[in-house]
Structures are given as structure tokens and as C-alpha cells.
């Protein structure tokens, strides 16, 4: 595991009171006004002081670039930062470098992920409150750990929070190839639930179907096939008790038509921007179906530290420890090359993750000004430094 605390340089600076820094210089990716990320984002440097009370100082290791993060910067997401400029990003995995004097359950060297959304993760170092982060196993895969906070938690809550699903039950979802959709298929397979995925018709639909089925989907159909295929008899599926909608429009109406009696459809996004219609007589009256919405950000804020959240995190961490929680593929991009991620994102469905551990210079500032300490590859932090004559004294 990459670890700043394993380095001799860091141990020297952190254990010697005369050398311990009063601040650490961090690089942050900020935006001063709403707009397109590739135009508005810029890197700035600023100093972060020592943590106090229940604060922890975190070295950010990896931070995903999610569609939600982009929508926030564009100003079209329901959540907006109260003050600009703001640091972009929400999810991350990091390592604790220093703890405040009142911190009880975290220690230097612990690997952590955020419990709260929108803490501002596109930065190399940050301060957070103890209650805002969650300790994970020390040797967790960084890529998998970095995506638990929003997308994986959303998939978990969608499957656990609305219907008491049992092994053999079925669910149906549109946007099945999205990050949440893929995670839903993965969790369904682990829990013995049959999952029917719906994707938009496209030239490479066959390839995408196979990829989704390898991930855990029971069957994947296009939006043109779903209403013309006898999918339940062919695949021995029960009518779905749960429908998950992230698109809106006709695809939402389509999966609603497949709901079982007394089934529930949950809308957690609306990427098409289009409304959808529900027929009152068959759906609401005769079949007693229910339609509701879900916002993972709101759920986390309302359940911070609750038994529901603790149980969810413990279960997801166990899956992470046993390598059962494989997330969809992402491309890792060095933090300083962030524009590459947003340039590529405009024309592709790829997911990206910023790497804050590549070719970084760390500035430690204490009673004596320390020289730049280059970060070596992986855990080899620091190296030999020239000793000035004045320092020999």
C-alpha cells in the first residue's frame, strides 16, 4: 500500500518537535464560478494548518471524477456549494497523517474514506472532522475503496431500502451500463437476486450485453427489445418487485410496465432530462404500484453515524476485503493532468480517477524551513537530501 507514514523522512519530521510543520502546502482543484469543468477548474496552492480538536489531516490518494461532480460544477445539480471558490469532487480514499488531540478512534497511518458527500476531494491534502470519515482495512485496493462513498452506497441502498428482496427475486433497471447500474448487477449476483438490465440500442449492444452479464446481470436487453421479448418465460424470471430508474423518458415508462403487482419503482437520476408518464388505472389503482425518488446525498446526511449507515459500511468493507466488490473500469490520470480527464470525458462514457500520489512535491514548514522533498515511486517517499553547512550545527 502507498504510505507516506512509512517513509523515514515523514517519521523524522513528525516525531521531532522542532521539525514538525505548522502547515502543509496542498494543491487543490477549484472553480470560482459555475460552468464547464474544463474551462473553470484551476489548480491553486495553499497552506493547511495542523489539525485541532477532532480534526484529522488527510493525504488524498485517489479521487474519482463522477457525473455528479461535473453537474455540481456546471450548476445544474440540486446541491450547490454555499461559497465560491470551491474545491471539486466528493469521493476519495486517503491516509491519515496527523490527528487532533480529541480524536479517539483514528490514528496516523489509517486508511479512510469519506462518510459525508461533497467534502472537496480534488486536493492533495485536506482537513476533516473525525465523524466525517470511515476507517477501512489498511491494504484495501485504492481504486475500489475510492468509489464506495457515493456510487456503491447508492447501489446498496437502492437494493436494501425499498423492497425486502430475497434470493430468487427479480429487479429491473434502465441505465444498466452506468456506474451505479453495474454495481447493482454485481450486488444482485452476490445476494442471489435476478437482475434484468435495459440499455439503449447501439451498434455495440452485443458486446455491452456480454460485459454486463459477465459482471452479474441475469439478462440484458435493449430499449427496443424489452417490450417485444418474453424475457420472463425464456429466462425463468419472476416479475420484478423493484424497478430502478436513472434515465426518465420512455425507458422509465418501459421498465414501469414490467413491475409486479405492489412493486416499487425508484427514480435516483434523470439523465435524459425527459419526464415520464404513469398510467393511473393499471399501475396505481389495479396493481397498487408505488413510485418514489431517492437521493444518496440526502440519505447520507440524514443517516450520518446511524445503525443503518454503519451496517451498510461494514458489509461493503467486508466485500472489499474479500475482493468481491470489483468496481467498473476507470482510467487513472495524474492529478496535474486533470484537463485530460475532462477533455476525454466530453466524448466518451469512460470513468476517470485522479491520482494524487504521482510525481508530487511536498513542502513541510516548521520552525526551520525544510527543502522540497520529492515523492518517490509508491511507498518510497523521499530520498537523500543535501545537508547544508548551517544545518550541521
Residue 95 shares a structural domain with residue 228: no
Is residue 370 included in any domain, yes or no?
no
Radius of gyration of the chain (CA): 23
The answer to whether position 377 is within a domain reads no
Strands of the chain, DSSP E: 23-31, 42-49, 55-65, 86-87, 93-99, 111-114, 125-129, 133-136, 170-174, 194-199, 219-222, 242-245, 264-267, 290-293, 331-334, 352-355, 361-362, 364-365, 373-374
All three cell numbers of 348: 466518451
Residue 191 and residue 222 in one domain:
yes
**How far apart (Å, rounded) are the C-alpha atoms in residues 43 and 38?**
12
Round to whole Å and give the CA distance between 392 and 226.
76
CATH number assigned to the domain comprising residue 296: 3.40.50.720
- For residues 343 and 288, membership in a common domain is answered with no
Any domain includes 5: no
- In this structure, are 169 and 218 located in the same domain? yes
The residue length of the chain stands at 393
27 three-state secondary structure: strand
Query: Is the CB of residue 33 less than 8 Å from the CB of residue 10?
Result: no
Residue 315 lies in a domain: no
Q: Give yes or no: residues 134 and 49 share one domain.
A: yes
Q: Same domain, yes or no, for 133 and 172?
A: no
Question: What are the C-alpha distances in Å from 257 to residues 178, 252, 254, 293?
Answer: 22, 9, 5, 18
Count of C-beta atoms within a 10 Å radius of residue 307: 8
Note the pLDDT of residue 382.
34
Claim to verify: residue 116 and residue 230 sit in the same structural domain? no
Flag residues of the chain having pLDDT under 70: 1-22, 345-350, 359-393
pLDDT of residue 377: 35
Residues 287 and 212 in one domain: yes
Residues 185 and 274 in one domain: yes
List the grid coordinates of 247: 434515465
39 and 115 inside one domain: yes
Residue ranges of alpha helices (H) inside 24-174 are 37-40, 67-74, 142-146, 153-160
Q: Does 156 share its domain with 287? A: yes
Tell me how far apart the alpha carbons of residues 242 and 75 are, in angstroms, rounded to a whole number. Answer: 31
Q: Spell out a b/e string for 272-294, using b for 16 or more CB atoms within 10 Å of the CB, else e.
A: beeebeeeeeebeeeeebebeeb
* DSSP state, residue 90: -
Distances from the Cα of 188 to the Cαs of 7, 19, 165, 205, 219, in angstroms? Answer: 42, 52, 10, 22, 12
The count of domains in the chain is 2
pLDDT at 374: 35
176 and 271 share one domain: yes
Per the domain annotation, does 363 fall within a domain?
no
Rounded Cα–Cα distance for residues 275 and 321 (Å): 41
Structural domain contains residue 364 = no
pTM: 0.79
- CATH number of the domain within which 39 lies: 3.90.180.10
308 in a structural domain? no
Please report whether residue 197 resides in a domain: yes
Q: Is the dihedral of CA 55, 60, 62, 68 positive or negative?
A: positive
- Domain region containing 242: 151-300
Q: Which are the catalytic amino acids?
A: 77
Amino acid at each position: 500500500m502507498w504510505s507516506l507514514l512509512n517513509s523515514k523522512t515523514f517519521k523524522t519530521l513528525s516525531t521531532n518537535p522542532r521539525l514538525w510543520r505548522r502547515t502543509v502546502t496542498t494543491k487543490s482543484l477549484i472553480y470560482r464560478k459555475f460552468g464547464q469543468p474544463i474551462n473553470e477548474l484551476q489548480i491553486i496552492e495553499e497552506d493547511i494548518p495542523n489539525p485541532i480538536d477532532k480534526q484529522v489531516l488527510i493525504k488524498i490518494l485517489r479521487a474519482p471524477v463522477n457525473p455528479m461532480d461535473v453537474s455540481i460544477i456546471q450548476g445544474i445539480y440540486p446541491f450547490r456549494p454555499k461559497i465560491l471558490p470551491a474545491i471539486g469532487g466528493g469521493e476519495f480514499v486517503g491516509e491519515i497523517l496527523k490527528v487532533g488531540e480529541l480524536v479517539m478512534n483514528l490514528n496516523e497511518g489509517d486508511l479512510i474514506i469519506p462518510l459525508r458527500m461533497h467534502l472537496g476531494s480534488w486536493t492533495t491534502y485536506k482537513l476533516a472532522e473525525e465523524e466525517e470519515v470511515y476507517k477501512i482495512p489498511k491494504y484495501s485496493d485504492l481504486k475500489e475503496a475510492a468509489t464506495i462513498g457515493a456510487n456503491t452506497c447508492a447501489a446498496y441502498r437502492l437494493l436494501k431500502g425499498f423492497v425486502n428482496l430475497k434470493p430468487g427475486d427479480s429487479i429491473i433497471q434502465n441505465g444498466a451500463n452506468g456506474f451505479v447500474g453495474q454495481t447493482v448487477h454485481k450486488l444482485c449476483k452476490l445476494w442471489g437476486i435476478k437482475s434484468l438490465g435495459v440499455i439503449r440500442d447501439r451498434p455495440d449492444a452485443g458486446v455491452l450485453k456480454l460485459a454486463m452479464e459477465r459482471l452479474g446481470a441475469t439478462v440484458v436487453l435493449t430499449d427496443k427489445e424489452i417490450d417485444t421479448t418474453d424475457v420472463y418465460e425464456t429466462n425463468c424470471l419472476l416479475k420484478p418487485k423493484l424497478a430502478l430508474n436513472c434515465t426518465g423518458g420512455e425507458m422509465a415508462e418501459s421498465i414501469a410496465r414490467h413491475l409486479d403487482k405492489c412493486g416499487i419503482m425508484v427514480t435516483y437520476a434523470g439523465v435524459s432530462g425527459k419526464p415520464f408518464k404513469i398510467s393511473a388505472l393499471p399501475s396505481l389503482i389495479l396493481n397498487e404500484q408505488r413510485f418514489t425518488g431517492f437521493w444518496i446525498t440526502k440519505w447520507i446526511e440524514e443517516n450520518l453515524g446511524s445503525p443503518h449507515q454503519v451496517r451498510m459500511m461494514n458489509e461493503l468493507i467486508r466485500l472489499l476485503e474479500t475482493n468481491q466488490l470489483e468496481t467498473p473500469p476507470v482510467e487513472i490520470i495524474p492529478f496535474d493532468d486533470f484537463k485530460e480527464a475532462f477533455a476525454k470525458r466530453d466524448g466518451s462514457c469512460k470513468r476517470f480517477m485522479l491520482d494524487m500520489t504521482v510525481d508530487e512535491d511536498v513542502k513541510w514548514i516548521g520552525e526551520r524551513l525544510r527543502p522540497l522533498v520529492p515523492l518517490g515511486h509508491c511507498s518510497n517517499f523521499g530520498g537523500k537530501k543535501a545537508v547544508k553547512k548551517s544545518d550541521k550545527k
